[in-house]
Amino acid sequence: MEEKIVQLIKDSKHLVIASHINPDADTLGSMLGLGAAIKKISKKITFFNPSKKLPKRFDFFYGFKKIKDKLPDRFDLLICVDCASFDRTSIKKSDFQIINFDHHKTNTLFGDINIVKGDYASCSMVILEFLEKSKLDINKECATALYSALVEDSGFFKYERVDEKTFQAAQKLIIYGANPNKIATLLTQRESLAKLRLLQIYLNNIDLKKNATVCISKITVEDFEKTGASISDSDSFVQIGLSLATVRLSIFMYELDKEMVKVSLRSKEGIDCSLIALEYGGGGHAKAAGFTANLKDINDIIVNILKKVNI
């Protein structure tokens, strides 16, 4: 399988590596880490993300400034990273082959070739394994992006799927050139004042349900505009709700516009977030999942979730 993918990359006249909308460290790090490793064997690479605004905290990744929000007119190979379903790329299918690298157990296997490891803590681990099996160049630029993706998507090694393989991958990436201290500083100590103001709104909006076992909070379009914060600034908020001692399910909603809202779910033992998300057309992992819904339906959806969740 790895040999076939490498040959497809070498034969491609124009390769697009795509990451999912509203990107996080794993999708961007996997995309740019892969790009750094294959740049010597690929004729032309375009890094694509459909979002108009990217999280600046990842600006130290190789190729960050080269990411485009528009596709080239023609390309013959598409590699998707960290996308549980094809619609997460905002790309329409056409006459190009698709390679799908992911770690979501709810992945729809939309690629012509699918390498999906549902038990891995990050997609960057899937990319690392592919690169090692293919004997491709894992340079410092690649290692930095992949390690950053790994530590962020594993919650700095505290989430459920962290295991021996996770630490082995981290060790390998450090040997390949990733600097753990520098990366941790760049990821965690460059917060904007806008984000802190948005966090204050999130905390003020917290509503505890079912004897304080469910935490619900919401950020509106006006909140983003008022604080000057971006959607990516709210990435960690759902985890803050889950950090409360009594909370077993954290639900965080943020408006994408005046019609659509994104719902992020995080849980502790015994609650499968992916099953909740799948019911509303989303997906993810057992303890971390999400979906998008119409703003007009969200109140009914929350009421339904609260009725069904067994706490």
One domain, residues 53 and 123: yes
pLDDT computed for residue 269 by the predictor: 85
Residue range 17-56, pLDDT digits in tens: 999 999 999 999 999 999 999 999 999 999 999 998 899 9
Q: What is the CATH number of the domain that holds 304?
A: 3.10.310.30
pLDDT computed for residue 310 by the predictor: 83
Residue range 66-115, pLDDT digits in tens: 999 999 999 999 999 999 999 999 999 999 999 999 999 999 999 999 99
pLDDT higher than threshold 90 for residue 143:
yes
Strands laid side by side in the 260-267 sheet: 207-209, 214-219, 249-255, 260-267, 288-294, 283-284
- Specify the pTM: 0.89
One domain, residues 7 and 133: yes
One domain, residues 148 and 212: no
One domain, residues 141 and 245: no
One domain, residues 114 and 247: no
The number of distinct structural domains making up the chain is 2
One domain, residues 178 and 241: no
One domain, residues 138 and 108: yes
One domain, residues 169 and 220: no
One domain, residues 60 and 206: no
Cβ within 8 Å of residue 138, ≥6 positions away = 37, 128, 131, 132, 176
Distance CA 166, CA 230 (A): 30
One domain, residues 161 and 61: yes
Q: 91 lies in which domain range?
A: 2-188
Share of the chain above pLDDT 90, in %: 94
Residue range 166-215, pLDDT digits in tens: 999 999 999 999 999 999 999 999 999 999 999 999 999 999 999 999 99
Q: What is the CATH number of the domain that holds 140?
A: 3.90.1640.10
pLDDT computed for residue 78 by the predictor: 98
